[in-house]
Amino acid sequence: MARLFGTDGVRGKANADLTPELAMAVAVAAAHTLAESDRSHPPLAVVGRDPRASGEMLEAAVVAGLASAGANVVRVGVLPTPGVAYLVGEAKADLGVMLSASHNPMPDNGIKLFAAGGHKLPDEVEHVIEAAVADGTAWKRPTGAGVGRVHDLLDGAEHYIQHLVSTVPHRLDGLRVVVDCANGAASDVAPTAYREAGAEVIAIHAEPDGLNINDGCGSTHLEPLKAAVREHQAHLGIAHDGDADRCLAVTAEGDEVDGDQIMAILALAMRDGGGLTADTLVATVMSNLGLRLAMSKAGIRLIETKVGDRYVLEELRASALALGGEQSGHIVMPAYATTGDGVLTGLHLMSRLAATGRSLGELAAVVTKLPQVLINVPVTDRTAGATAPAVVAAAAEAEAELGETGRILLRPSGTEPLVRVMVEAETLERAQLVAERVAAVVRTI
């Protein structure tokens, strides 16, 4: 059976790959799997979504599935993914469901599941849910008073914003920021949180209509943010994706600041404040070699995981560490959040600017990035495309050629029919040449 879950939940084109029937089946299986251990009270589930139009349809299916399994449901409406995770913990719920395809285009949608406490699911639990969905196990359906009830939480965003602002170590007074909300789930939350923390905020792409999420804006399209930062003479720009679990930034000069640089800035801030446990940062194998060199120079240990913030989270929890993340802008601070939180990251990044009086460009310069080329190769079978003997041989040859002056990473996408070919080298030209050569082999599979 093909895997139902990717690196971040179940994802596909809404009403084609991800149908209401599938959403309901996943919800039923999740309710029984995540709340099976304690039936002394009805399970409680928190359900949120981003503003894409298909979320309304899928929310109805998920809520129906949960209630049919006997779970009481609290709908929190449009809210960032980390906001839903936070409310799962606050409500002491048995599970949470977030309907979002993150940075993917509007026609896509996804189902992200959280266990009690707002934590993402380990692989073994996802396997149990997958097997239950595939098997179509007919659990005994409750009737009468055993059917779950559905309620709306109208002030969930306010509770979440209050929590976010309470974590800021230094107020943001005096900073002017442009925030690109990607016409997504943070369109209200991000500007409000940044203002309440003291910043002057100019919000762009903060008028979601269900169809315009991630459309030429947000963390995957930074040009509009760069233009707005220059127009408003802002100190920096912050970009979120559709469900606001990511944060990327732009300097006053219009230079991009990625997740690696943000992690370095936060790691040094936390180390200086005594909050970086064991002077250790957790990142994925996709992080630039420049981050590794910068952290080594600062005396900070770097642990690598597989790609996906869930694997960063697992390492953070297993080793009781304080900071981790991905180059893509998923940054995790376990003291304040159970998952990557873009708005939380933006607050703490700006807090470092305010506390030091230094510009974002100055702070980001601690990382000298090696030129990196990433080619996404469309494939029919992403696993075969990454593991075929010819592809493996081409990657090995490239790795030997690069030696210690660069590296190559070949991996199937966890959410799309793509194989990602990433190459770092001393020069952009060499990285591009090597990446194109390996990508050409992948295209033959």
> Which sequence positions are flagged as catalytic?
102
- Other beta carbons within 10 angstroms of residue 189's beta carbon come to 25
Measuring CA to CA, how many Å separate 184 from each of 11, 50, 56, 273? 17, 6, 14, 33
Distance between CA atoms of residues 311 and 331, nearest Å = 12
* Overall size of the chain counted in residues: 445
Distance between CA atoms of residues 379 and 232, nearest Å = 42
Largest CA distance in the chain: 68
Give the pairing of strands 248-251 and 256-257: antiparallel
Instruction: Answer yes or no: is 102 a known binding residue.
Output: yes
- Other beta carbons within 10 angstroms of residue 301's beta carbon come to 13
Instruction: Answer yes or no: is 8 a known binding residue.
Output: no
State the DSSP string of 109-135: EEEEEEETTTEEPPHHHHHHHHHHHHH
**Residue 231, by phi and psi: left (phi above 0), alpha (psi -120 to 50) or beta?**
alpha
Q: What angle do CA 177, 179, 185 make, to 5 degrees?
A: 150
Instruction: Answer yes or no: is 241 a known binding residue.
Output: yes
- Per the annotation, binding residues are 102, 241, 243, 245
- Per the annotation, binding residues for Mg(2+) are 102, 241, 243, 245
